[in-house]
Homo-oligomer: A and B are copies of this chain.
Amino acid sequence: MRQTFDETTTPAFGREHAPLIRAAMAAQGLDGFVIPHEDEHQNEYLPAANDRLAWATGFTGSAGAAVLLKDKAAIFVDGRYALQVRDQVDTDLFEVRDLVEGGVPAYLQSEARAGWTIGYDPKLHSPEALERLKSAAAKAGAALKPVTPNPLDAAWGAARPAQPQAPVSPHPTQYAGEDSAAKRERVGKSLAEMGADAALITSPASAAWLFNIRGGDVIRSPLPLSQAILNADGSARLFLDPAKVTPDLPAWLGNGVTLETTEALPGALGDLAGQKVLVDPGTSSAWFFEALEKAGAKVVRAADPTALPRACKNAVEVEGARQAHIRDGAALVRFLRWVATDATETLPDETEVVRKLEGFRDATGALKDLSFDTIAGAASNGAIVHYRPTERLTKRLQRGSLLLVDSGAQYLDGTTDVTRTVAIGTPSQEMRERFTLVLRGHLALARIRFPAGTTGSALDVLARAPLWARGLDFDHGTGHGVGSYLGVHEGPQRISKLPNSVALRPGMIVSNEPGYYKEGGYGIRIENLQVVTQPAEIAGGERPMLGFETLTLAPLDRALIVTEMLTAEEHAQIDAYHARVLATVGPQVEPDVRAWLEKASAPL
């Protein structure tokens, strides 16, 4: 689980590997090949064996794509990775393009030539993504052609790591809060109501939730790579590499679930002939749609039926999240004290900061994994939104600057994700003012009450308005869903400028993480997780309102808060939060840490 600081790729990867891929393309009669970041599980998190984009280009970000044409190539990343891509990728070989503005379709449309054949692997693209590629290629007079095996895998060959085989074990009901049979019956009923006979579940997180199982095939997220068929009557078939099955698993799955090998899946799709089968066109590969249609099943395109039930945590999961955050809060408080005292003296480098925080979390005795690689960004490294310290890039802390630490943990009872920005030594007035603007947005989103039906898109402006008023903004989403001992990024809800039609519902856990980044200077982000509360009456009001309960418990750096910029309501909100941190986490920590926390969480 230990975080490492090495680099698994170099910019030479492109020069070394692109010719191999192009040779395999030529052998298949292809003029181009599309390399998405996503793997056959359409997952953000990849095992090394499936990180094709990294092998082809050197780029290790969590989202992106590349197109290799026979005479040129491009890599596509979003704004978060604009700096990183230039550091990791040979830009003589790969033109850097924006993943969102135009993206791969626009490139195919302008760069493919009439009569060309562009290959794609149907297991690596959702039908929705594929439609856009096909339409763009057609405008250029080029054709897209499915290729199995794809030329990249052919070129990778023996050098490719093996598929992971981490053990899959039960996730006990004391943490899950609802047994799998009840979940399957509930989701099965929703299938029946939609007129579907079954659903094909291809997202590993969905299988993990539905069967109350956890695995370890992917770093930082206890996902069991697997697929499943759920029938409307609640019975199911789970497809899993037998090497991953732990002894307790078959009994845990119970009578309603048959455990089968991954190889049995194509045959099982054939059993669905004549049935109406729900598949999610946003998260399942095009390959599944084609296979089902060939098998004679009637495909119903609809959202993964487990996504919304999984996002709405039950009472046991919410209570687990509270406990996880108290435990994590104690580790954070110990860490923040170390930063404010020892580290401000010795000015260690970022890797030491990461190791120290991991050590405090490890010492809780409950840490299963980090929930993602810790981002510790000192000074200008803090301005790189998706920075990860490496031996090459690491900086020492600097007095008079900021340290941004975005980190999280996986515990059996919950997943955490928290960002604190702290001053090392004396911060500048500009740093303090901009921190306070970010904080005001964060507070507005934390205290908002809202009626049922409100989406995260509608609330996003609350976190940005104070920055906007000063001509500032940040170029990432404001909040993402978080799983329960599952992925730290989870849909379908989101708090973002982008439209999202999913209303926030009780039990959903979302992050609240506005920021500000001064390129070459410093970065600020303040992130708490918060859970959507049940609609409740408000004294003197007429309509019940939902709201947020903040889960994350760690003090905000008082040295960075300009109290004169706060309204009375904001001032009181910070004091109340700090009082809660002290009351909840204070009893968990040693006397000297507690003494520090008392000062750190004193009223402003």
- Roughly how many angstroms separate A448 CA and B444 CA in the complex, as a whole number? 14
Does A282 belong to the interface (CB within 8 Å)?
no
Does A545 belong to the interface (CB within 8 Å)?
yes
**Are A468's CB and B449's CB within 8 A?**
yes
Chain A residues within 8 Å of chain B by Cβ, number: 36
Residue in B444, B459, B539, B543 whose CB lies within 8 Å of A473: B543
Given the known interface contacts A458-B497, A461-B459, A501-B499, the answer about A472 and B567 at a Cβ–Cβ threshold of 8 Å is: no
- For residue A465, which residues in chain B have a CB less than 8 angstroms away from its CB? 444, 448, 462
CB-CB contacts of A324-344 with B at 8 A, as 1s and 0s?
000000000000000000000
- Roughly how many angstroms separate A539 CA and B471 CA in the complex, as a whole number? 8
- Roughly how many angstroms separate A543 CA and B473 CA in the complex, as a whole number? 8
A593 to chain B, nearest CB (A): 35
- Roughly how many angstroms separate A453 CA and B497 CA in the complex, as a whole number? 9
A583 to chain B, nearest CB (A): 24
Does A544 belong to the interface (CB within 8 Å)?
yes
Does A542 belong to the interface (CB within 8 Å)?
yes
Does A221 belong to the interface (CB within 8 Å)?
no
- For residue A569, which residues in chain B have a CB less than 8 angstroms away from its CB? 567
Using CB atoms, name the residue of chain B closest to A538. Answer: B471
**Are A471's CB and B567's CB within 8 A?**
no
- Roughly how many angstroms separate A471 CA and B547 CA in the complex, as a whole number? 11
Does A469 belong to the interface (CB within 8 Å)?
yes
Does A157 belong to the interface (CB within 8 Å)?
no
A133 to chain B, nearest CB (A): 21
Does A493 belong to the interface (CB within 8 Å)?
no
Does A287 belong to the interface (CB within 8 Å)?
no
CB-CB contacts of A259-272 with B at 8 A, as 1s and 0s?
00000000000000
Does A537 belong to the interface (CB within 8 Å)?
yes
Does A591 belong to the interface (CB within 8 Å)?
no
**Are B501's CB and A471's CB within 8 A?**
no
**Are A470's CB and B501's CB within 8 A?**
no
Does A247 belong to the interface (CB within 8 Å)?
no
Using CB atoms, name the residue of chain B closest to A537. Answer: B471
Does A427 belong to the interface (CB within 8 Å)?
no
**Are B499's CB and A541's CB within 8 A?**
no
- Roughly how many angstroms separate A213 CA and B107 CA in the complex, as a whole number? 45
A516 to chain B, nearest CB (A): 9
Does A451 belong to the interface (CB within 8 Å)?
yes
A144-197 interface (Cβ within 8 A of B): none
Does A540 belong to the interface (CB within 8 Å)?
yes
Does A460 belong to the interface (CB within 8 Å)?
yes
CB-CB contacts of A568-582 with B at 8 A, as 1s and 0s?
110000000000000
Does A252 belong to the interface (CB within 8 Å)?
no
A437 to chain B, nearest CB (A): 10
A102 to chain B, nearest CB (A): 16
**Are B501's CB and A468's CB within 8 A?**
no
Does A415 belong to the interface (CB within 8 Å)?
no
A475-526 interface (Cβ within 8 A of B): 497, 499, 501
- For residue A499, which residues in chain B have a CB less than 8 angstroms away from its CB? 457, 499, 501
**Are B472's CB and A449's CB within 8 A?**
no
**Are A451's CB and B473's CB within 8 A?**
yes
Given the known interface contacts A499-B499, A499-B501, A567-B567, the answer about A542 and B459 at a Cβ–Cβ threshold of 8 Å is: no
The 9 closest A-B pairs by CB, nearest first: A471-B541, A471-B538, A567-B567, A449-B468, A458-B461, A470-B541, A449-B469, A499-B499, A471-B543
**11 more CB-based (< 8 A) A-B contacts, given A457-B458, A470-B538:** A448-B461, A449-B468, A449-B469, A451-B468, A453-B497, A454-B497, A457-B457, A470-B540, A471-B537, A499-B501, A567-B567
Sample (5) of A-B pairs whose CB atoms are under 8 Å apart:
A448-B461, A471-B545, A472-B542, A473-B543, A567-B568
